Amino acid sequence: MPPQSVCLETVSYVDGHHNRLPVEYPILALIPMLIPTIAGGALYAEAMTGFLLIFVFIIYFLLYYKRSKASAFTFLLYLVIGGFGITLERLDIIIGAFILICLWLAEQKRFFRAYLLLAMTTMMKFVPLFLLLPLFLSEQKGTHKNDLKKFHGLTVFMTIVLLTFGISFLIDSRGTTLPFQYNAQRPIELESVPATIMNGLKEAHGVNICYGAGYGSYNIYGNYHGKCNNKDYTAYQSFDQIIITTGTFFFLLGLLLLAKQFINNKLTLPQFFLGTLLLFVTTTKVLSPQYFLWIFPLIAYVYGYDKVWTPLTVILAFLTSLIFPYLFGGTIFALPNPAWLTNTITVRNLLLIGITVCYVFNCFNLRNRNHLRVK
């Protein structure tokens, strides 16, 4: 692979073992990494930029022709404000495009294609797996109770996922399971909501923390006897596990609440998709700015230009860009207390929590505003 691709973690040495598969992602993440190599190593970065730009245009034109001009405009607005530093450097814009196309296909009752695309997207990055629930429940609404065809899409999804895992295992058995280990062992990332909670505990003198780089991000660790990431600091490890487990619990609980409301026709499929991803980014221990590239297209798709949603999303996007790349720096973690960074993260995350909670429970009628239904 060209050296420019190393930052995207396509291959890596782990414990002295050279992996032929992505360290962090499933095997299909290699495909968009390999396509730009056609241009040659010297032009790899430029080719990758152009390749990712194609997906920006795909999202824009889908919104423009299938929703409205306002939806397309607001998407570009969110992208310029909240994603200009990472859109053309990360694969997440591809994930965002595929999720949006999958949603549109499902709304058109083209479930076979939707399941096919969702399976491929899941094998590029695991997170879209959670969208299987809203897709499956949506399909059930259009089928008879005893119709076996209602399981065809789910069967297609599982077949593609298992087949891809099988091929991956034959190529590199250790590399196939490594993404699960990698993500399970990752510490709490500095930008995540759990990190904000941990910083709050620090301010309340409940735990001592420090900051350090690892796993391709900046993270929070326990600081014990002056040693960062001290494995003997059992109090920090207890708080860490409690916060992560609680986040998982609230994610699953919120997902069930959304499913119940969807079954009772209290929210639409696009709202279900958006709500699922909002829950995920709010409760996960790893939250990077590129994750919002999955959400911005959906907000534009569901609400277009809205006097409440548009300002909220612009603020969210602005704070995200303020955090990265502006407030991040090469020497920032040499400081004993980078409060100016963590405080900005806290404000952004409190806004994110507020939006998510109000979305799930429809506080102030936030979720059920007059979102677009353009044919």
Is the model's pLDDT at 228 over the cut of 90? no
pLDDT of res. 370:
63
Average pLDDT on 243-262 reads: 97
pLDDT of res. 336:
40
The full length of the chain comes to 375
pLDDT (tens digit, 9 = 90+) per residue, 273-285?
999 999 999 999 9
User: Closest by alpha carbon to 128, among 285, 277, 297, 252?
Assistant: 277
φ and ψ of 146, to 5 deg: -100, 15
Alpha helices in the chain (DSSP H): 30-34, 44-66, 69-83, 92-107, 111-122, 132-141, 152-171, 173-185, 193-203, 234-263, 269-283, 292-303, 309-321, 339-361
Is the model's pLDDT at 10 over the cut of 50? no
pLDDT (tens digit, 9 = 90+) per residue, 63-106?
999 999 999 999 999 999 998 878 998 899 999 999 999 999 99
Is the model's pLDDT at 9 over the cut of 60? no
pLDDT of res. 114:
97
pLDDT of res. 329:
59
pLDDT (tens digit, 9 = 90+) per residue, 331-374?
444 444 467 888 999 999 999 999 999 999 999 999 998 654 43
Q: How far is 365 from 266, CA to CA, in rounded Å?
A: 12
pLDDT of res. 147:
65
Is the model's pLDDT at 18 over the cut of 70? no
Q: Which residue has the tokens 């936030």?
A: 366
Cβ neighbours of residue 148 under 8 Å, at least 6 residues apart?
Answer: none
Q: Compute the mean pLDDT over every residue in the chain, rounded to the nearest whole number.
A: 88
4 pLDDT tier (thresholds 50, 70, 90): very low
pLDDT of res. 334:
46
pLDDT of res. 148:
63
pLDDT (tens digit, 9 = 90+) per residue, 174-203?
888 888 888 889 999 999 999 999 999 998
pTM for the whole thing? 0.91
pLDDT (tens digit, 9 = 90+) per residue, 139-166?
988 766 666 677 888 999 999 999 999 9
pLDDT (tens digit, 9 = 90+) per residue, 277-315?
999 999 999 999 999 999 999 999 999 999 999 999 999
